[in-house]
């Protein structure tokens, strides 16, 4: 016949076991709640669920545990998929980066480095000591803007850095939150700009293309031209080069835009001269691209 062994706890030992069980239950019930992030405000403060002691406070050691755990939960900013951008020479790029932070921290942006290939040659190769030679701008909202200079046809890669701004975090004992940084590249191709297109050039209402010889004109004659470009026309120049006898003195003049007729005009009376001259008219578009109409001859 097997005998049963009976363990008898005296009062003091029984009391100790009960207390130990209560402490363990309290520890495991408090810990998960203490580490649970409930909300985050832009100012950098977090709120948590936590069981409070009889005095209504959580001990500093618990706060330290929470903030160190939060440091592990801080995630990298999220960068969406970027597609390559194409602009025309001398044109502008406006591109929203769309970066966001999972915890809601504000972000600071900068160009980390730039790579440029112009004419098939690498002219800039990601020099972090000169990261932004083309003056690309990024505002606090993550909007990237770039005004490409005329003559910048080529391929560009801008490596962009987004970094969490933790300056608003409160000073909490045991705080250990590292700033998260992400970098990603945006490709931009600059293609040749469109050229100005001349519709016609008229002298006293007659199309110069219909004349096979020099065009007769007077000091009251008006030269008119209709020219267009997707980037707009910033100016129209006339170059007069005298020839023969008598000849008009060489001169560069600027036409004036007539908003009523939509044409650029120049009055030959402004030359204060008469004789023969070759005339070349050049239009300049908003990107600085120049286009000349075939020269023609006049006699004043």
Strand order in 222-228's β-sheet?
206-207, 197-203, 222-228, 263-267, 256-258
Overall CATH class of domain 197-299: mainly beta
The tens digit of pLDDT for each residue in 1-47 reads 444 444 444 555 555 555 555 555 554 444 333 333 333 333 344 44
Q: Is 292 helix (H, G, I), strand (E, B) or coil?
A: strand
CA–CA distance, 143 with 39 (Å, rounded to integer): 27
- CATH 2.60.40.10 occupies which residues in the chain? 197-299
CB atoms within 10 A of CB 35: 18
Whole-model pTM: value is 0.50
Tell me where in the chain the CATH 2.60.40.60 domain(s) lie: 85-191
The model's pLDDT over 263-288, given as tens digits with 9 standing for 90+, comes to 999 999 999 999 999 999 999 987 78
Task: Output the pLDDT for position 90.
Answer: 81
The per-residue pLDDT of the chain, averaged, comes to: 79
Q: Which residues of 126-148 are buried (b: 16+ CB within 10 A; e: fewer)?
A: beeeebeebebebeeebebebeb
**What tens digit of pLDDT does each residue of 187-235 get?**
999 988 778 889 889 999 999 988 888 899 999 999 999 998 877 899 9
Residue 182 has a CB neighbour count (10 Å cut-off) of 16
Instruction: Give the CATH H-level superfamily of domain 85-191.
Output: Cadherins (2.60.40.60)
């Amino acid at each position: 016949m097997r005998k049963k062994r009976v363990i008898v706890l005296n009062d003091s030992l029984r009391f100790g076991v009960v207390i130990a069980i209560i402490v363990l239950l309290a520890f495991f019930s408090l810990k998960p709640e203490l580490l649970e992030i409930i909300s985050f405000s832009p100012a950098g403060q977090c709120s948590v669920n936590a069981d409070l002691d009889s005095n209504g406070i959580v001990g500093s050691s618990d706060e330290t545990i929470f903030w160190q755990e939060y440091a592990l939960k801080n995630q990298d900013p999220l960068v969406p998929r970027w597609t390559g951008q194409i602009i025309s020479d001398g044109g502008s790029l406006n591109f929203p980066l769309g970066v966001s932070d999972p915890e809601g921290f504000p972000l600071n942006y900068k160009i980390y480095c730039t790579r440029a290939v112009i004419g098939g040659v690498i002219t800039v190769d990601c020099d972090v000591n000169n990261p932004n030679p083309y003056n690309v701008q990024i505002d606090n909202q993550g909007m990237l803007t770039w005004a490409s200079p005329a003559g910048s046809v080529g391929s560009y890669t801008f490596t962009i850095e987004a970094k969490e701004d933790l300056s608003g975090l409160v000073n909490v004992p045991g705080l250990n939150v590292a700033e998260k940084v992400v970098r990603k590249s945006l490709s931009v191709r600059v293609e040749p700009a469109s050229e100005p297109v001349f519709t016609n050039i008229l002298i006293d209402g007659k199309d110069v293309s219909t004349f096979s010889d020099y065009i007769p004109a007077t000091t009251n004659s008006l030269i008119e031209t209709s020219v267009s470009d997707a980037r707009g026309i910033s100016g129209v120049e006339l170059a007069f080069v005298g020839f023969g006898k008598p000849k008009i003195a060489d001169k560069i003049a600027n036409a004036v835009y007539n908003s009523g007729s939509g044409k650029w005009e120049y009055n030959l009376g402004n030359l204060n001269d008469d004789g023969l001259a070759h005339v070349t008219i050049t239009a300049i578009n908003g990107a600085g691209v120049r286009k000349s109409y075939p020269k023609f001859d006049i006699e004043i």
